[in-house]
Structure 1
Amino acid sequence: WASALDPQTVSSLPEAEIRRQTIIAKVITEEQQYVQDLDLIETVFIRELRLSQPPIIRLDQLEDFIKDVFGNFFELRQRNRELLNVILVRQREQVPIIQRIGDIFLGAAAEFRMVYPTYIGNLPFAEIRIKEEAETNVNFKRFLEQSSRQAGRALDMKYFICRPSERLREYPVLLEAIFKETAKGNPDADFLVEAERAMRKLNNLAQLQTFQSCMGRGPTGNWEWHDLVPKEARMNISKQEAFRQGVLWDFIKTEMIYVKDLETIETLFVQPLRKSDIIPQNRLPTFLQDVFCNFAEVYGHHRRMLYRLHEIQRDEHPFIRSISATVFDATLNWRDAYLEYIPNYPIAAFRIEDEREKNPSFKAFTDDCYRHPEARKFDILFFINRPIPRLLRYEILLKSIWEASPPNHEDEQVIPQVLKVIKDLGRATEPGVLSATRKVELWRYKATLRFEPGEHFDMDLFDDTRTLIHTGKLLRQLESGFNLTGGWTELFVLLFDKYLVMTKAREKDGVTTYHVNRHPIPLDLLSLLSSTDPPSRRTTNFFRRRTKTILPTVADHLTGVTSKGVNEPVDDNRYVFPLQLHQNGRTGGVLTFFTESAHARIEWELKLEEALGVRSVVQEVNKVFDLEILSVDIFLGRSTASDAWDKEGMFTATVTCSVPFTTSDGRKLVAIGCTEGVWIGPRNNSKSMRQVLHLNLVTQCAMLEDFGLFLVLAEGTLFAYQIEALVPTSPPSRDVARNAQKVNGNKDIEFFTTGMLGGRTLIIYMKRKGTDSVFRVLEPVIERINEKEKASGGFGRFTFGNSRSEWFRIYRDFFLPSEAFDIYFLKAKLAILCTTGFEIMDLMDFKSVTIPQRDDRRLAPWKDRLQSCKPLGMFRSSEDEFLLCYNEFGMYVDRHGDPRSQNVVVGWEGTAQRVACHPPYIVLFDPRFIEIRLIQTGRLVQIIPGDDVRCLWDGRGGGGSVPMIPPPGPDGWEKGGTQHARIHAMMRAEEPGRNMHGVQHVFELSSI
């Protein structure tokens, strides 16, 4: 600057002014160079990255990279361009001597406050981003090398992006130098002092923002309060206040680390799982919900609180007055989020461990995450668990702030309220945590339960309502056989809210598995018989198998043994305490267990009573079928073969079948067959039944409403009646045939069935010929049925026509060389249930195949059961699978008859006499109860107890008013299924003063 002036002018200036102007000139030159460096950032780096062909960084990632590295660079450069422009204008206005410059920098400091802290705060992240990209992108690494040479000074990108931080630190030093050379009284001195102070404060703010931006990571994340506060400032406060400021700093610092950890859950775990096939896509949404729950909601609350804390810190640093109001507001807002998240932790931990064991890809993924720098060598469980210890940490930090607060400080009022909210939150989460822990314990047992190979038993242990009520050791005494344990077996018994499961625990390689010793017992079929029998002496002698009952004596009282078993004997486990249960069902009977102490027996008694009581209530609330009475007091139990009517005029006969139908004038009726004839009456009036047919030994009935026909099988003869003749409409039809048609000639029909095949309505009946089953397929002919009645020479209300029915034509005849029990109409074929299994036949060419193939090696475990059990029904369980129902179990097969890969067999609780389908359920009839299961999984959903229970109508052969069942879709049966009643049944009920054999109640199963 001096070389451009007249030497005489320069020599006339004071030495201090010459030095002042020299420094000002240096400031202008450096500012010009600084702005040029900022321009190089754009031309050498940003522009080249955007215009390079081929792209150095993938185009879909380029703008994110530029934003991450350069942040608000363009705003910052604009502020410095404006500063340089103002300085140059001042230089031109005040040439040759610049009188004032402090005011320019004071104004610039205000402008810089909007951009520099943000830019500098992003630098640690920008440096990490450059390093990561250079390590993974060879093209970018080459670009950095080339760019440094292009810049001309062999300086890399890191140098250039850090120039603003370096320049901001220079401003206070330069302004201080100018101030020292400024004469007293110069108006610029005051501006320079304020500008220097503003620039230093701006530097402190930039440092603070760097600390805030690092979120507890890297070297700057370790800064403490005293690292950013000048010593002279710290000397002006008390030690107690310095301690308090340190704790406030620690609160914000640890909150930053916590929020960053919650953010890491999203970036390190959730996003990669969503973008990959590590977890199968059909399970991924449930897995993410179970593991991560509502962590995003928790993160949102803490991100907002941290944002406000950062604002307070920037506004009040280095001395923060209070953060308690902000924390109090946050604790009130996040309560619901924590009430959901914390109780879910046991579930999350279990799902992670379980997935790691079963899914090698997930195990490898979590191991890789553990080694990731962001994880800091913490595993996924650490991050999932973070919210729980953080709540406890709040109490410690807030108490420290409270204790260090000066008298009458606002924190004395607010912090106790915050602490109370946090403690209340902790207490409020305890029931949920306990419930989740029990649920996880239940799931762990599910994972370790072992059934016989191929056996499937769905106890629905993943259901949210399932609970484990009690577990423990029980003893059972072996009935026979030589046993080294002295005739005793030790069981580990699990009492769930729905099942009692007896297992034998086995340990291998530190892992305990529980092998199911006996079919799990539904609580609906279990009752407690006795828990007060006197204790017995347990013997271990090989030749003394039985326990000896010990009646209470004086000696027993002295040793503490009583029949009630309140106290324990003082000697070893020679005494055992019996506990008797009764199981209803096919494998049921009296079950006698023994406990090794009186206390254990009492505990089992209480837990069993609790479980049975709760189950009874839950079953009533969650039942899927209810009983709608069709006939309540028409049919009494049969006492003798000759009785037909009792003293009250009520009929005594065995009900055998029923079918609903709708008349042409819209009346909804039901026909009920019994050993003495057929009754018909309204469905909604159980006392209006009237006998319409006097036939003996009626076993089956069916309606063909489209043809106006009613079919009855009685004493081996199949009869056909016109419905109008049985139940005349008003006005009655004139062309109704009064004579019944005999469908067969001899009394040799064992069963018949009706259905649709190929668009035809068919009736198929079977008669036995030696060991063969002979079938005749008939088709009703509507024209013949509607013909006027021919003259008949019979007597009575109904007479019989020719032995060969005029209303039907013979469609097919065929036979099977085995005993047949029933026929089911499939979509295009017939399923004939016989001694060999399920014979699937094409009625057009009579080609057939038997399923399942008993020589299939996959069926080896059930070969004996397949030979000994009777087929009862065949139903679609899904779009591509069928459930073959036998009297003791069901088997899932595909459309080719091959057993499916998993969960092939599901066992019934009872011995089914009949089975019916009411999608999405199958209904099994044991004489003691009705068993209702989901057809797709075999899961037991309801048991209806009864006496002499029988199925009267299984949904086939009903009138046209009973809608056809649509086939299941790709996802199986719709949850609701059909709502129309499709099943009739009866059970015997004892009524005081009535026949000792009880009343036969006829009812339909109504879907709820």
Structure 2
Amino acid sequence: MSDDHGGYQRTQRLSLRGPRPPPRRPHSPTSPQYDYTLSSPDRSSVLLPWQQQFDALSISPPNLSRARSEQTPRNHTPPALLPHRQTVADFSDQELLQYSGPQEAWAFPEPQIYPAGYFDTPPVSEDAHYSDVPPTPPPKSLNPSHESVASVSQSFDPRGVDAECDPIYAPPPDARASQLFTEELVSQQEREQNGILRFQAGTLPDADAEWHRLVSPEAVKTLPKKEVQRQSVLFEIVKSEKEYVSDLRVFRDVFMLPLISADPPVITPPEKLEEFIVEVFQNVEEILATHEPMLADLYERQREQHPLILGVTDIILDYVFRFQPVYDQYVKHYPISEAQHRKEVQENPAYKAFLEECSKDPGVKKRDLITFISRPVTKLPRLHLLLETLGKRSEPDNFDQENLLVILPALDHIIKATEPGIAAAEAQVKLWSFCESLVFQKAEIVDMDLYSNKRTLIKLGTLARRMRNEVDWSGWVDLTVGLLDNYLIMTRPGKQNGAKVLIVLSRPIPIGYLRIGPFELPAESRKESDRSDLDSISSEGGGGSILDSLRAPTRPVYPFMIYHAKSTDRRYTFYADSEEIRKKWKQAFVETIGIWRAEQEANKVFALEKLTDGFFRTRTALVPETTKVLFLGRITSAASFFTGGQTYLVVSCAEGIYAEVRGPHSAFRKVLDIPGADSIVALPSFKLILVQHNGTLASYSLDILARVAQGQSKVQTLKDSREVLADSGVQFFRVGVMTDRTVVAFAVKRFIQVNFQVCEAINVRANGNLSAKMFSRRQPTRFKPYSNFYVPRNAFDVILLERTIAVACEKVLVIIDPARTGREQVVVSVPDFSTVPMNEDMRSLKDRCDASRAIGFVQSGKDEFLAIFEGFGCFVTKRGAPTAVKAGFAQWEIPATDFAFRPPYILLFSNDFVEVRDVATTQLVQIIAGKDIRLAHGGPASFGPVMFAMRGEKDDQRGVSDKLVEVIETAPIPETPLTATHQDHREALWEGW
């Protein structure tokens, strides 16, 4: 009691332990113990109807201070509060009447004393507050039958029973009314608290897990509609978090952990199981570890403040920035996780049975594993939606609004950052699905590197083609066309063993060979009755079917053309369903070809260095007849060697052999008057150069040739150094190293056979000084016989291996051991089909070999070789039999005429293209385009670089030029420590982009 200013005021302050105050967080309200105060009314204001029912409920205003140092920890209990876990029933009425709340509580306005008659004309206030006292007359009695705080406050007049007798002060109510009031409050609080605890424990029925089911109907009716909606949203946030954490635990405990510990194992071998766990379940445990503490904090807030929660955004704000790393990793990989799961279900019956057993767990609730895999993907968008709704249901000055200004953009950023990753993963899954359904022609090896991390499915769609046949003259066929970043694949839907597949109709076109034809052709008409499956055309009905076909409506289709750059017969006209689709296909083709060319330019396996372009020319129609310029003609062969501290280039053409010192200001000099030499090879270690011309094979001094090229010696001196190995009938020769010997093997054509002679080069210095006169002898002095043999058929090339010699004949390769002569000599035909079972694939391969010409033979592995034919290659064992692992053939895109071997690559030469392929897989890695391409030198690397001639860039009145280029193998940029350290960062930047 107090006595101020001569008046008397009696105030009864009843403090109850309601919900605990929320923890003091940044941007969160600082609310002391709820203070239920009974005081005389302030008649200067008029309350809203729902505030009139809660006028006894005094809520301290929020403290929006941002200083974290001034905030109270979440678990801190102010000393002025009643002890935790105690209720009002634990205190006497006297203690309750005397308790006035914590010191820092904001007290309601004290009742004002006004003179008599002041309230005759009460003013009306436009603003209403929770602390305002209702102006309505109080009821005369309490109704103990009400079951909520709201119902008690509705029937209780805070002015007391003597309010009408004494308007100046309100005497305390009788003890019985106070006891009923407190008992009713405690009873309702215990019921609500029990419901919340059951909800959090998961024992509350799902139908009752709603905010309005845990609050008395009277309280719901007294609250404004907007506040009811806000409290429902707050409860839904907690509920959705509870369900989410529960599902993650089921995902881990019911599916992942039992799958890991299954005995016998569901997925084998262990390496596959480990990879599957990583691919499908990813970092679900990290996500769960992030959300479990947030759910615990939300539970605590709910227990403290239910039924009227002030807010939860301060809790979410503490955790939202922890979502970025864990969700970024999971969401971007989600499509791959789902695809791996679906694939395992289709291929592994044990895994399917395991999932059926897991579905019996009550926590699964008859949901598929895909539902649990997708839960983290939908979590953040759903949380964003709930928080947006919360912002709409909250007042503008509510502290939630300030927190939402930070939370919503943060969630937006996380969601949008994962979208490119999801799109990329979905495209990858789409690519895998497309590739796994492809069915190629039997016995054909097509290594398109489909499962590389670099592969991208640019466009996949349906296009029509006209393929006339005897059944349907119009021949409309719908094809599924896939445009990858490295190949264009044309397929036709079909079935194989009951499964849907895509049958590859034509050999895929590498992007490097893809050319775009006209895309502006006029539209054509297609009848609606045309079917894509020609086999489905029924002949039943006879004329009726024809009439139906004639009466069928038509629709326009829009044609466009593409073609293979090398094969003139591989031209394809496709029909799109609309002009827009046709434009999209054109854009896809243009962009894909452009990107492929840019990537090829930046990642060349072999680079080209121009050696000469313009010196060797051929007459054309542009050259005046009166010109006196000497046309040297096309380049036929070339060689490069190093001697005397300088590098020399020797070139053979129609007018003779020319040489120069390689350099920017060098000039060619004629060194030998030998027109159109077929082949030139330098042997720097023996100071010799070999020249094949007009059926003869001779050697010349390399040192003298170098002096002639610089004008220091006469041409005749070089001619005098000539030494003849064969004077007639030489078809070709090759140089190589066999068992540490440098040998020269050449073929001499006879009447019914081809004789091969193998000579070993001799180092003159090691055998004493030989006089210069010895160069003129007929018998070679710098070479000695090593071996000789013959083949009873035409021969086109000879390949010197480590211990054996391979001879390329019309249909096969013949392997010969030169160390054995006479009857001991072993001859093996490659491929040797006599030692393998002849199935359909082998018969197909044999037919191809019989119809083709062999051009080479190289080692592709430890005990494996690649037999090279004009149009394809096949793998054989060291004994010449086709391999079982790589049975079949790899078809080239060009008709190869020559090849060069630079491990691990082979270079295949044709008139317009050079293909670079991996020798172990035959995968196409580079395409070099040109015109009139000719291999000038392709021997082993120890005898010079690979060089080839092609049409030059000059075509004027001096004729068209011939260009000679050197093929230089590039090397990957070594990974420096800085590069290695930031490898993951580069990957992260790319994924983020």
Quick one: structure 1 residues 827 and 804, their matched pair in 2 at CA, closer, same or farther if it must change by over 3 Å?
A: same
Contact 2:526/2:554 (<8 A) preserved = yes
Contact 1:347/1:440 (<8 A) preserved = yes
Tell me what 2:167 maps to: none
- 1:366 Cα deviation after fit: 4.7
Contact 1:635/1:1001 (<8 A) preserved = no
Q: Which amino acid aligns with 2:483?
A: L
Larger deviation, residues 818-827 vs 271-280: 271-280
Contact 2:696/2:726 (<8 A) preserved = yes
Tell me what 1:890 maps to: 873
CA deviation vs aligned residue, 1:116-135 (integer Å, no higher than 9, x gap) = xxxxxxxxxxxxxxxxxxxx
Aligned partners of 1:764 and 1:491: how far apart in 2? 53
Alignment of 1:974-985 (within 5 A): 982-985=945-948
Secondary structure of residue in 2 paired with 1:652: coil
Confirm or deny that 1:899 pairs with 2:883.
yes
- 1:370 Cα deviation after fit: 4.5
Tell me what 2:515 maps to: 527
- 1:402 Cα deviation after fit: 5.0
CA deviation vs aligned residue, 1:261-316 (integer Å, no higher than 9, x gap) = 46448843774599969355666676555444554554454356456656767888
Quick one: structure 1 residues 383 and 598, their matched pair in 2 at CA, closer, same or farther if it must change by over 3 Å?
A: closer
Tell me what 2:642 maps to: 662
Alignment of 1:344-743 (within 5 A): 344-360=333-349, 362-367=351-356, 369-370=358-359, 377-399=366-388, 402=391, 408-463=397-452, 464-478=454-468, 482-486=470-474, 488-507=476-495, 511-535=499-523, 572-573=553-554, 577-586=558-567, 588-595=569-576, 600-637=581-618, 647-648=628-629, 651-663=631-643, 665-685=644-664, 687-728=666-707, 739-743=720-724
- 1:871 Cα deviation after fit: 1.8
Q: Which runs of 5+ in 1 are unaligned?
A: 1-102, 107-200, 543-569, 793-798, 963-981
CA deviation vs aligned residue, 1:728-768 (integer Å, no higher than 9, x gap) = 499999xx997434343332111112222222222111112
CA deviation vs aligned residue, 1:56-86 (integer Å, no higher than 9, x gap) = xxxxxxxxxxxxxxxxxxxxxxxxxxxxxxx
Contact 1:696/1:715 (<8 A) preserved = no
Contact 1:754/1:957 (<8 A) preserved = no
Q: 2:753 aligns with which of 772, 775, 781?
A: 772
Secondary structure of residue in 1 paired with 2:322: helix
Quick one: structure 1 residues 873 and 990, their matched pair in 2 at CA, closer, same or farther if it must change by over 3 Å?
A: same
Secondary structure of residue in 2 paired with 1:991: strand
Quick one: structure 1 residues 661 and 593, their matched pair in 2 at CA, closer, same or farther if it must change by over 3 Å?
A: same
- 1:424 Cα deviation after fit: 4.0
Confirm or deny that 1:827 pairs with 2:802.
yes
CA deviation vs aligned residue, 1:204-258 (integer Å, no higher than 9, x gap) = 999999998x8x6x89999969999999xx99x9795975774464255234314
Aligned partners of 2:488 and 2:780: how far apart in 1? 57
Quick one: structure 1 residues 575 and 803, their matched pair in 2 at CA, closer, same or farther if it must change by over 3 Å?
A: farther
Q: 1:951 aligns with which of 907, 915, 935?
A: 935
- 1:915 Cα deviation after fit: 1.8
Q: 1:925 aligns with which of 894, 909, 912?
A: 909
Quick one: structure 1 residues 468 and 400, their matched pair in 2 at CA, closer, same or farther if it must change by over 3 Å?
A: closer
CA deviation vs aligned residue, 1:573-616 (integer Å, no higher than 9, x gap) = 37665433332124645444445655554444444334333433
Larger deviation, residues 254-263 vs 932-941: 254-263
Q: Which amino acid aligns with 2:679?
A: Q
Quick one: structure 1 residues 406 and 877, their matched pair in 2 at CA, closer, same or farther if it must change by over 3 Å?
A: same
Confirm or deny that 1:866 pairs with 2:849.
yes
Confirm or deny that 1:842 pairs with 2:826.
no
Quick one: structure 1 residues 363 and 518, their matched pair in 2 at CA, closer, same or farther if it must change by over 3 Å?
A: same
- 1:622 Cα deviation after fit: 3.6
Q: Which runs of 5+ in 2 are unaligned?
A: 1-82, 87-188, 531-550, 972-993
Larger deviation, residues 613-622 vs 340-349: 613-622
Aligned partners of 2:459 and 2:263: how far apart in 1? 37
- 1:455 Cα deviation after fit: 1.3
Query: Normalization by structure 2: what TM-score?
Result: 0.65
Secondary structure of residue in 2 paired with 1:698: coil
Contact 2:210/2:235 (<8 A) preserved = yes
Quick one: structure 1 residues 502 and 405, their matched pair in 2 at CA, closer, same or farther if it must change by over 3 Å?
A: closer
Query: Normalization by structure 1: what TM-score?
Result: 0.65
Q: Which amino acid aligns with 1:808?
A: F
Contact 2:610/2:963 (<8 A) preserved = no
Quick one: structure 1 residues 283 and 268, their matched pair in 2 at CA, closer, same or farther if it must change by over 3 Å?
A: closer
Quick one: structure 1 residues 955 and 355, their matched pair in 2 at CA, closer, same or farther if it must change by over 3 Å?
A: farther
Aligned partners of 1:359 and 1:406: how far apart in 2? 56
Aligned partners of 1:739 and 1:611: how far apart in 2? 59
CA deviation vs aligned residue, 1:900-931 (integer Å, no higher than 9, x gap) = 33563221111111122333332211211112
Quick one: structure 1 residues 944 and 369, their matched pair in 2 at CA, closer, same or farther if it must change by over 3 Å?
A: farther
CA deviation vs aligned residue, 1:658-697 (integer Å, no higher than 9, x gap) = 233221x332333333344333334454853333232233
Contact 2:233/2:386 (<8 A) preserved = no
Tell me what 1:941 maps to: 925
Aligned-residue Cα RMSD (Å) equals: 4.7
Larger relative helix fraction? 1
Aligned partners of 1:667 and 1:270: how far apart in 2? 69
Q: Which amino acid aligns with 1:742?
A: E
Aligned partners of 1:702 and 1:350: how far apart in 2? 57
Aligned partners of 2:474 and 2:285: how far apart in 1? 60
Aligned partners of 2:311 and 2:528: how far apart in 1? 75
Say how many residue pairs are matched: 745
CA deviation vs aligned residue, 1:539-580 (integer Å, no higher than 9, x gap) = 9999xxxxxxxxxxxxxxxxxxxxxxxxxxx99337665433
Secondary structure of residue in 2 paired with 1:658: strand
CA deviation vs aligned residue, 1:876-910 (integer Å, no higher than 9, x gap) = 33334332221111213344433233563221111
Contact 2:256/2:281 (<8 A) preserved = no
Contact 1:475/1:594 (<8 A) preserved = yes
- 1:630 Cα deviation after fit: 1.4
Quick one: structure 1 residues 924 and 360, their matched pair in 2 at CA, closer, same or farther if it must change by over 3 Å?
A: farther
Aligned partners of 1:332 and 1:281: how far apart in 2? 36
Quick one: structure 1 residues 265 and 622, their matched pair in 2 at CA, closer, same or farther if it must change by over 3 Å?
A: farther
CA deviation vs aligned residue, 1:465-499 (integer Å, no higher than 9, x gap) = 42232422222354xx6343445554333333332
Secondary structure of residue in 2 paired with 1:382: helix
Q: Which amino acid aligns with 1:779?
A: E
Larger deviation, residues 782-791 vs 697-706: 782-791
Q: Which amino acid aligns with 2:965?
A: V
Quick one: structure 1 residues 502 and 645, their matched pair in 2 at CA, closer, same or farther if it must change by over 3 Å?
A: farther
Q: Which amino acid aligns with 1:774?
A: N
Aligned partners of 1:537 and 1:227: how far apart in 2? 64
Alignment of 1:112-261 (within 5 A): 240=228, 243=232, 246-247=235-236, 249-261=238-250
Contact 2:629/2:958 (<8 A) preserved = no
Tell me what 1:150 maps to: none
Contact 2:637/2:937 (<8 A) preserved = yes
Q: 2:950 aligns with which of 979, 987, 992?
A: 987
- 1:805 Cα deviation after fit: 0.4
Aligned partners of 2:367 and 2:830: how far apart in 1? 55
CA deviation vs aligned residue, 1:772-827 (integer Å, no higher than 9, x gap) = 221111112224776545364xxxxxx96233201111111111222222222333
- 1:393 Cα deviation after fit: 3.0
Q: 1:818 aligns with which of 785, 793, 807?
A: 793
